[in-house]
Amino acid sequence: MVKNNLKFLEKISKEPEYKEKSSMECNMLSSLMANGYSQDALFKKYSGSINNLASKLEFAASRNSIRKKYSKYDELWLDSYSASYSTPENVGIYRSLKLKGHDIADLGSGGGMQAIFLSKNSRVTGIEINPERNLMSKLNCIPYESDCTFILGDATLSGEVLKDKDTIYSDPFRSRVSDERRIDILEPSPVKILSLYGHRIQNFVFDLPPMMRRENMSMLKGELEYISVNGRISRLTLYSMDNAENKTTAYDLSTGVKYESFEYEEPEKTDEVKSLMFVPDESLFYSGLHGTYCKKIGLSLLQVEKRKALYTGETELPGFMGETYRVEKTCEFDSLKENLVSSEGGKVIIRFDTPDYYKVKETLEKELSGDKVIHVFKINDRAILCSAN
């Protein structure tokens, strides 16, 4: 499929009727994709009847992927990268309230979504070097009735635009093919932005990869805020503001529960699995605050894994920032299948890392006839069978 998104975006920007027709075609294609049609199959089916089809298929696929991310998903124009990395609406609105009343420049504004939400409570100018995304931003302003200004230009050469601004926000471009999570490979680099504008701007807000190690951010001072949504990590934001403290915050946006600390404490460790298992929220885990948090409430650490930590205790903790499970049984991992049967298991939810999740799940559930949903954790050579508390 040969596409020219820039040419297509220019056309819909200038011709309202063509834009409306194209949006309807994108939604039709998006609906077909949701029902199982591949982009290749749709290209063959409509190549003779829909012009700019390759571009429309990309925007249709993006609309399909952002259905739960934006309330006006079926009116937005986002390419695949922007659809994946743009700030979700609920996070954008939260940030908008947090930065209320500022005069903000969004450097590297991408598809424009964070700038659009910020503009609900602040004056905002977005600067984007990619002409396609600059046009997307202007189109995306319309359904949200935003008065945000978008400029095509280089964020590192924007001195004149910034003369009246008091805050710089930036969600830098990050390569999807790079596994490295370093400040210097982000574009524009936060370090470069600080060196260029730190002498004249007071407030800086940077979106950073949530998995980035703290030592790789040591040159950036301010509050590090890890945001989770529905228990999954969503954003890491650095607030280097005139009144910001050098603290770390974990915030579950879904519940409004927040935990902050200036310290990173080592948790108490144990090998004894007690009657309850606790899995701290991902904002606590990725921030490194799970040890500090769980130590203060009397939990002991069983194991730290790649994407979560497992704690144990005897007392139920209403309001725990994370998930709680009741331990039904502990057994050798080799005897897991027999213990699932004797526990009257019917459905198994695997809570340990495995490259063959569905194959392992199918194997474990085969021949189970019970009605219990059992969560299976693995600690060294032991399996921990739990029910959701």
List residues bridging with 257 in a β-sheet.
252
CB atoms < 10 A from the CB of 315, how many?
10
pLDDT of residue 186: 86
Sign of CA dihedral 366, 368, 374, 377: negative
Q: Report helix, strand or coil for 210.
A: coil
Is this model's pTM higher than 0.85 or not?
Answer: yes
Rounded distance between C-alpha atoms, residue 241 and residue 326, angstroms: 43
Is residue 108 within 8 A of residue 82, CB to CB? The reply is no
Is residue 148 within 8 A of residue 116, CB to CB? The reply is yes
Rounded distance between C-alpha atoms, residue 192 and residue 184, angstroms: 8
Residue type, 368: L
Is residue 219 within 8 A of residue 189, CB to CB? The reply is no
pLDDT of residue 175: 64
Residues in the chain where the model's pLDDT stays below 70? 1-2, 175-181
Q: Encode 251-319 in three state secondary structure.
A: EECCCCEEEEECCCCCCEECCCCCCEEEEECHHHHHHCCHHHHHHHCCCEEEEECCCCEEEEECCCCCC
Which class does domain 85-246 fall in? Answer: alpha beta
Is residue 55 within 8 A of residue 8, CB to CB? The reply is yes
Q: Report helix, strand or coil for 188.
A: coil
- Domain borders along the chain are 5-65, 85-246, 268-388
Q: Can you read off the two tokens belonging to residue 80? A: 């695949």
Q: Report helix, strand or coil for 380.
A: coil
Q: Report helix, strand or coil for 154.
A: coil
Region at 36 (left for phi over 0; alpha for psi -120 to 50; beta for the rest)? left
12-28 b/e (C-beta count within 10 Å ≥ 16 → b)? beeeeeebeebbebbbe
Q: Can you read off the two tokens belonging to residue 83? A: 């659809």
Is residue 250 within 8 A of residue 281, CB to CB? The reply is yes
Is residue 143 within 8 A of residue 76, CB to CB? The reply is yes
Angstrom CA distances, 138 to 77, 127, 133, 160, 255, stand at: 10, 11, 9, 21, 33
pLDDT of residue 177: 47
Residue with tokens 């969600």: 171
DSSP letter (8 states) at residue 88: P
Rounded distance between C-alpha atoms, residue 136 and residue 127, angstroms: 12
Classify residue 330 by burial, with Cβ atoms within 10 Å: 0-12, 13-18, 19+.
Answer: middle
pLDDT of residue 176: 52
